[in-house]
Amino acid sequence: MAKKRKAAKRKKNKKKKTKRRWSQRVTETSDALTLDEGVFTKGSPKAIARSLKRSAERSHRRKSAPYRSAMSMLTFYINRGGKGLSKTRKQTLEKAKDELRALYGKD
């Protein structure tokens, strides 16, 4: 009897891991921007900010100003990362916000 429960539990856990997250789908197919691949994994805040700016200005799908769309996507990524982001990664992304403000002259 115990073996059946363990097998059922393992099967249930396996199913959860393979299910895609809605936040990933939003990041990939959002109407806000068409993002460059790997934009949030870049090492420097300046590179992240430049990529977001480029994507925002090229996108024809966005519904608001380029600055607002870029900042929204960056904030969304930080918020959805939550506890899963390391301290250094979160700091890099927060610095990317400052770089984005500087690129748009919103100091």
pLDDT in tens, 72-99: 989 988 988 877 889 999 999 999 999 9
Task: Return the pLDDT at 80.
Answer: 84
* Cα(38)–Cα(55) distance, integer angstroms: 12
Task: Return the pLDDT at 41.
Answer: 86
The pTM assigned to this predicted structure is 0.71
The pLDDT tens digits of the residues spanning 57-69 come to 988 877 889 999 8
The pLDDT tens digits of the residues spanning 4-18 come to 666 666 555 555 555
Task: Give Cα 103 to chain centroid, integer Å.
Answer: 20
Task: Return the pLDDT at 104.
Answer: 93
Task: Return the pLDDT at 6.
Answer: 62
Pair 48, 92: CB distance under 8 Å: yes
Mean pLDDT, all residues of the chain = 81
Number of C-beta neighbours around residue 40 at 10 A: 20
